[in-house]
Chains A and B, each alone.
Chain A
Amino acid sequence: MHVSQEREFITLIEEHKGIIYKVIRLYVNHDEDERDLMQEILFQAWKSFPRFDGRSKFSTWLYRVALNTVLTFKRRPNLVIPHDNLASLNVSNTEKRSVDDTEALYQAIRGLGDLERMLITLHLDGYENDEIASIIGLTKNHVAVKLHRVKETLMNQLNA
């Protein structure tokens, strides 16, 4: 990589590092895993950067690298309760109400399967279904159907 390209890479990463933090926060539970993944995402982005042709936005490209890395990287298992079991938790209505909405959404998203989490994250971040399809490798139709189901599951859990 040329020096100018290196500088460009560092500037772009600095501008968009929030994307990497976001992906790590949604998928990782342990400090050591967080650092490992941060380094791995930076490494993969660094390795792939010379092929970044600017056809997509850098943020989309970095999102793709970050999500693909996190999905395929060996992580310690999550301590989050799977979403299927959330509904059956014996929590009183008063307690439920006291839980902050954002924390509830965070826990509900983290309780989803890896790919479902990836779909809803991209959707909530404003990506169109065809962009999500191209990032993940599913068809637009599959993305739409799956997203509808994931949203339904999330809403059911959050409104329960």
Chain B
Amino acid sequence: MDLQKTWNRLEHDKLNKPVLGIISVSKKSKHPVQKLIDLFKITLGFSVVFEMGFIYLLIIMTQPIVKLFLVIMIIVYLFFFFLNLKILKNIQRTFRLDLNLKTTLKQVYDNTQSTLAFQRKSSIFIYPLAATAGFLMGLAAEKDAALMMQKWQVQIILVIAIAVLTPSCYYLARWMEKVSYGKYLNQLHSLIEDFERIEKQSN
């Protein structure tokens, strides 16, 4: 069989048949990378909501120790907001399906993975701060938080709260990351692996 001649016939008989149904240039993409981009945008939206919440609390809270922790949380969230914004812009810039596919996929995959890994690691330090801020706000609702914190019983309760909340939040965040970003990242990863498999087989 002549491969080229058969291909030409195949093109003529079958491949050039139009796709049926109404086709329009949709403004919304269902592409997995576009979904990743959307997820980053949602994360940014949540960061803004949390920032507003912290700012509101900063205004209504009167005790300096609580204000201090709220300021720390605002700074941390601002940092992550700009980090996510930077990564989002990076992904938007590198996601180009009219360029070399392997490079595009690797850039999007590596950018997303490194950001998520950084956020995962840094969250270990942030959860205790967030737990302390919440704990202090609870104390401040009833009494003088700074005074209460001098009692060893209160300090032990705070340590226990941190010890329980930090790993719980860490694993919850990991699970959420897997549910939201995971399937799209896995899809990209398996494609990159296909490229690498072909390169290995050809060597």
Which residues does A use to contact B, with CB under 8 Å? 17-18, 20-22, 24-26, 31, 34-36, 38-40, 42-46, 48, 51-52, 61, 64-65, 67-69, 71-74, 101-102, 105-106, 113-116, 124, 134-139, 141-142, 145-146, 149, 151, 154-155, 158-159
Residue in A22, A34, A44, A67 whose beta carbon sits within 8 Å of that of B29 in the complex: A44
CA–CA, A25 to B191, complex, Å? 20
Instruction: Give the residue of A36, A114, A145, A146 whose beta carbon is less than 8 angstroms from that of B30.
Output: A36
Known: A25-B17, A73-B31, A105-B7. A43 touches B25 (CB 8 A): yes
Q: How far is the CB of B75 from chain A (nearest CB, A)?
A: 36
Knowing A39-B25, A105-B6, the reply to whether A115 touches B17 (Cβ < 8 A) is no
Q: A22-B11, A42-B23 are in contact. Are A74 and B194 (CB under 8 A)?
A: no
Per the bound structure, the CA–CA distance linking A116 and B202 in Å amounts to 12
18 contacts between A and B (CB under 8 A): A21-B15, A42-B26, A43-B25, A44-B29, A44-B31, A51-B96, A64-B99, A69-B97, A71-B101, A72-B33, A72-B101, A72-B105, A105-B1, A105-B3, A105-B7, A137-B100, A138-B195, A142-B198
B10 near A106 (CB under 8 angstroms)? yes
Number of interface residues of B (CB under 8 A): 49
A interface, over-half SS? helix
CB pair B98–A137 under 8 Å, yes or no, is no
Contact A102 B102 (CB under 8 A): no
Residue pair B187, A35 in contact (C-beta under 8 Å): no
Bound Cα distance A31, B19 (Å):
8
Whether the pair B31, A72 counts as a contact (CB closer than 8 A) is yes
Interface set, chain B 94-116, CB cutoff 8 A to A: 96-105
In the bound complex, do residue B101 and residue A136 qualify as a contact, i.e. CB atoms below 8 Å apart? yes
